[in-house]
Structure 1
């Protein structure tokens, strides 16, 4: 019998939790967000549940609300190297900006993480909006949306070429003859584009997965174009099932149009969770966190997304649709988060106050029992709105622990999630094949056509 399809599950570690009031609850020490053991503990909890990966968001600027929120984050590739050394199976996904990095250095860092982890690394490609990050890199303000994604596409193209610059069998390792590598299988990149000029090759052999998993986390037009062409997985912000279904179908069709196998592009919507043993307990937990954050803080989250001062909003009225404008005209912020928030408010005719209690960090929110959380995951998965999900608990570590101990077993009983790891690499967990080297593929095509392989060797 053919085994039924199973979902993928990632855990997004957002500081103390996805709720802005989590740090005030006091579940973890005040320095936990810069303590490597805090992250190792969460990763081990997730590994006990056989989750695919942990995921670290990041941005190269201090958030503006440092007066009321813990400020700063450890650098993801360094932190995840330490986490990988303390775990055996779980994948490690680092967010790094294509706007404020250079391809060679970042390609090397992520490939190093893949080697060190034994093939469990991924790069989450982001294009940073916001002027604060830009001003840390000599710019007066953030590049426009279209420019950020133009640079991102080139960045990814160069990175993939660098990751492939050593063929799988380039290392000979013949001690008797003293021949270490075959130079004909180590390729220059010689990339010259609008944004980058990179010679290559990478000064590191090909990594255990062929190349690290590439993740993309944008739902704008630029993000969808980039993700459908290059990504192995897309983290998305859909908040209603109709929108989730539409996004899933669109991305699979786009991948197919690029000549890709749509099964090799995993769509993973985000889900924020607040879980209690009863529905009343879950809502009490949520209310307590909201009380720490305050009514004004909840409204500020909505105001920040739509770009309107909170003082101009009536909490008990619908969104001021005439003032918001088109998502495509929103130049410097996240199109995906804005669209997800607007779609939810429009479909359910929510007031601003109601909307502020339906979304955490821009993603769909589930407040309820383990059974209810398992139900909503199963509903979206079986309907075809996702190949898996990126989970964002309200607080750490308890939110991760209750998900692993209470929700995961329910999914396992339904045959929707694994009971044990079936492989060692992140590609194994996600059900993705080992990446094919583009230079090997090109040489094979040339040989089958009766041509000599194109010269691109380093020496």
Structure 2
């Protein structure tokens, strides 16, 4: 029996193809408008998509090594801050999880934690984060506080061969640990609000986390009371051993990029081999990334793809699927049969491929019982079958 799937989307500018902004139905003048993001995410929300990730970086464009000095002028450049976009969207959406991309190298972990907790409050329990480790030389120049860090991918292609990349993932692990600890620093019943006694806060239920790591230290509690999910959803994209190990240890959801369905078994085996380092009590959820371009016929899809590729060549880490809605559903089913928990679809063109996903792909997939049925769970963690987290301080008290 085919394993039922969750479907998420990854939103990135005018779409994941670098030439997408030149399509006639693209909206390049609106990419930094509130309306653009509101309409995209509301459409995904109405269609029942479980969460949307929002891309971000600390440079003009993508984090590519060939753009460290001068950004290309023939591609979309400039963006809005993903956490702020998600916070704006929180009260304007109903069910969809909001998962902004955050880079762990430069932003203070305390600020990341409080921003995510605030997003969880604003959304009623739908906050998450896509964790990005490391930084480029240009990002480091933008901040001007540190010079150490990775310089491109090692010649071997393996991040474990570069001590700077290994350090970046250790630092990212500490950031996630701090985010989770700060989320736990307030117990659920820390706020009393007793007018008669004049007592607003039970100070005994707010805890200093006293975190001390290799890269930073935090002593104190979060400034944000405990949020609806208890813990925000932590996600990560992983391509090889060090990122797989990071995701196994720290994440709730990992995005993988197999070459095809047959390649999934190799990746799942590698994730399983890292399971001994896992800190989280629930099993890691595995989503496959698929970059999709969708038309009503295969010929039309091929023609659209050829036009985009003629204008600018896409080089993608994800499996690319060009074809009809039926073909996209067939690909999702093949990966489901390979044992994953869901797919994250990257629309090649926005808004057109997102509209094809919401209007054609999801109804087809639902009709064949490929998707999880909506159980009306109120929070993102619950929609993914993950329980609400209790503060570990409260658990310690209960077991004392």
TM-score by length of 2: 0.89
Checking the alignment, whether the CA contact within 8 Å between 1:89 and 1:421 is kept in structure 2 is no
Greater CA drift, 421-430 or 51-60? 421-430
The offset of 1:137, in angstroms, is 2.1
Counterpart Cα distance in 2 of 1:442 and 1:219: 37
The offset of 1:26, in angstroms, is 3.2
For 1:13, the equivalent position in structure 2 comes to: 11
The offset of 1:11, in angstroms, is 0.9
The offset of 1:441, in angstroms, is 2.2
Counterpart Cα distance in 1 of 2:317 and 2:204: 48
Greater CA drift, 34-43 or 432-441? 432-441
For 1:81, the equivalent position in structure 2 comes to: 87
Counterpart Cα distance in 2 of 1:90 and 1:81: 13
- Does the alignment pair 1:289 with 2:312? no
Structure-to-structure mapping, 1:381-400, within 5 angstroms: 381-384=336-339, 386-400=340-354
- Does the alignment pair 1:403 with 2:357? yes
Checking the alignment, whether the CA contact within 8 Å between 2:14 and 2:27 is kept in structure 1 is no
Checking the alignment, whether the CA contact within 8 Å between 2:229 and 2:379 is kept in structure 1 is yes
1:184 aligned residue (201, 204, 212): 204
Pairs aligned (count): 378
The offset of 1:421, in angstroms, is 5.5
The offset of 1:182, in angstroms, is 1.7
Counterpart Cα distance in 1 of 2:397 and 2:244: 30
Q: Which runs of 5+ in 1 are unaligned?
A: 302-360, 448-459
Q: For 1:393-415, what per-residue CA distance to the aligned partner results, in whole angstroms no more than 9, with x for missing partners?
A: 11111100111111111111121
Secondary structure of the residue aligned to 1:291 is helix
Counterpart Cα distance in 2 of 1:162 and 1:241: 38
Q: 1:421 to 1:49 in 2, by over 3 A?
A: farther
- Does the alignment pair 1:234 with 2:254? yes
The offset of 1:256, in angstroms, is 5.8
Counterpart Cα distance in 1 of 2:194 and 2:10: 44
Quick check: which has more Rg, 1 or 2?
1
For 1:453, the equivalent position in structure 2 comes to: none
2:394 aligned residue (398, 417, 440): 440
Q: 1:441 to 1:218 in 2, by over 3 A?
A: same
Counterpart Cα distance in 1 of 2:277 and 2:137: 35
2:266 aligned residue (232, 239, 246): 246
Checking the alignment, whether the CA contact within 8 Å between 1:133 and 1:142 is kept in structure 2 is no
Counterpart Cα distance in 1 of 2:372 and 2:274: 29
Checking the alignment, whether the CA contact within 8 Å between 2:211 and 2:218 is kept in structure 1 is yes
- Does the alignment pair 1:24 with 2:28? no
For 1:145, the equivalent position in structure 2 comes to: 165
Secondary structure of the residue aligned to 2:28 is coil
1:369 aligned residue (318, 321, 324): 324
Q: For 1:298-343, what per-residue CA distance to the aligned partner results, in whole angstroms no more than 9, with x for missing partners?
A: 5xx4xxxxxxxxxxxxxxxxxxxxxxxxxxxxxxxxxxxxxxxxxx
Task: Supply the RMSD in Å over aligned alpha carbons.
Answer: 1.9
Q: For 1:342-364, what per-residue CA distance to the aligned partner results, in whole angstroms no more than 9, with x for missing partners?
A: xxxxxxxxxxxxxxxxxxx3210
For 1:41, the equivalent position in structure 2 comes to: 39
Counterpart Cα distance in 2 of 1:419 and 1:260: 26
Counterpart Cα distance in 2 of 1:168 and 1:234: 28
Q: Which runs of 5+ in 2 are unaligned?
A: 62-66, 151-163
- Does the alignment pair 1:171 with 2:191? yes
